[in-house]
Structure 1
C-alpha cells in the first residue's frame, strides 16, 4: 500500500509538471525545441523517480546457517543451565548453613545439660530435655532439607555438564568454557559449606559420647549414694 501511494504521488507530480510545461509552450512558441527538451527531460526524470518510489525498501535479513543456529541454541542452553545451577547452589548452601547452626545449638544445649547434671530438680531437668528434643527435631528437619536441595543441585550439575558437551560439539567453545567454570565454582562453594557441616556433626558426635559417659558416671554415683544411705537410715531407726 505504501508503494502504491508513492506511485500515485509521483504520477500526479508528473501530470502537473507536464501541464505546466505545455502551458508555457503556448506562450513561447518561438522556442519549441528548448521547451520540448525540457519536457522530455522532466518526464524522464519523474518517470525514473516514480519507478524508484514503486520499489519497496527491503531490510536485509541475515542468512543464518544450521551451524549458526545450533551454536546459538547451545549457548542459550548453557545460559539456562548455569542459571539453574546458580539457584540450586544458593539454596543448598543456605540449607547447609542453617543445618550447621541447628547442630551447634543442639551441642550447646547438651553441654549445658551435662554441666548441670545432678544439680537440677526433676522439673528443671524435664524442661531442658523438652528443649533438647525440640532442637533435635529441628536438626532432623534441616538435614532432610539439605538432602532435598542436594539432590536438585546434583541434577543441575549434570545438566550443566551435558550442556557444556553440547556447546563444545557445536562449536560454541566460549559457552562451554563459561558453564564449566560455573560448575567448578559451584563445587568449590558447596564443598566449603559441607566442611562446616561436617565439623558441626563431629562436635555433635563428641557431645553424644560425652553424654553417655557422664550419664553413666552419674548413675553409678547415684547408686553408691543410695547404698550408703541405707545403713545410716537403718541405724537411726535402731
Structure 2
C-alpha cells in the first residue's frame, strides 16, 4: 500500500508540473519524501517477515519429513498441504510486490519525462528568471 501511495503521489506531482510555484513544489516533495521513507520502512519490514516465513517453512518441511519417518503419515500429509498453501501465499505477495515496484518505476519515469519536458519547453539560453534588469547590459 505504501508503494501505491507513492505511485499516486508521483502521478499527481507529474500532472501538476509547471502549474505550481516553488513553495508548492517544496511542499509536495516533503510529502513524497515522507512517503518514500514509509515505503522503505515497509519494504524492510516485508523482507524481515519474508525471512521469518521462509525459516518457518523450512522448519515445517523438516517436521513433515520427521512425521513421515516416524509413521505419522496423516500428520505428514496435512503438514505438506499447509506448506503448499503457505508457499502459494508467499508467491502471491511477491508478485504483488513486483507489480507495485513496476508501477513505482513507471510513475518515476513519467515524472522524469514530464520534468524534462518542462525544462526543454524554454528556448535554449533562456532561463526561467525574467527579473534580469535590462539596464545592466554592457554596451
Is the TM value for this pair above 0.5?
Answer: yes
Q: Give structure 1 regions of 4+ aligned residues with deviation exceeding 6 angstroms.
A: none
Could you say which structure has the larger radius of gyration?
A: 1
User: How far apart are the structure 2 equivalents of 1:124 and 1:223?
Assistant: 25
- 1:225: Cα distance to partner? 8.1
Aligned to 2:111: 211
Q: How does 1:84-95 map to 2 (within 5 A)?
A: none
Q: C-alpha separation between the residues in 2 aligned to 1:136 and 1:223?
A: 34
Higher helix fraction (1 or 2): 1
Give the corresponding residue for 2:9.
109
In the alignment, the residues of structure 2 paired with residue 225 and residue 196 of structure 1 have an alpha-carbon distance, to the nearest angstrom, of: 46
Structure 1 residues without counterparts, runs of 5 or longer: 1-100
Q: Deviations along 1:19-63, whole A, 9 cap, x unmatched?
A: xxxxxxxxxxxxxxxxxxxxxxxxxxxxxxxxxxxxxxxxxxxxx
Task: Note the 1:51-66 alignment, pairs <5 A.
Answer: none
Partner of 1:122: 22
Higher relative contact order (CA 8 A, sep 6+): 2
Instruction: Render the CA deviation track for 1:80-116: whole Å, top value 9, x for unaligned.
Output: xxxxxxxxxxxxxxxxxxxxx1111101111111111
TM-score using structure 1 length = 0.52
Give the structure-2-normalised TM-score.
Answer: 0.87
Equivalent residue number for residue 69 of structure 2: 169
> C-alpha distance in 2, partners of 1:133/1:153?
30
1:183 — aligned with what? 83
Residue matched to 1:66 = none
Once the two structures are TM-superposed, the CA of residue 223 in structure 1 deviates from its matched residue by 5.2
CA RMSD between the two structures: 2.3
How far did 1:226 drift? 2.5
Alpha-carbon distance in structure 2 between the residues aligned to 1:225 and 1:117: 21
Give unpaired runs (5+ residues) of structure 2. Answer: none
Query: Does residue 159 in structure 1 map to residue 59 in structure 2?
Result: yes
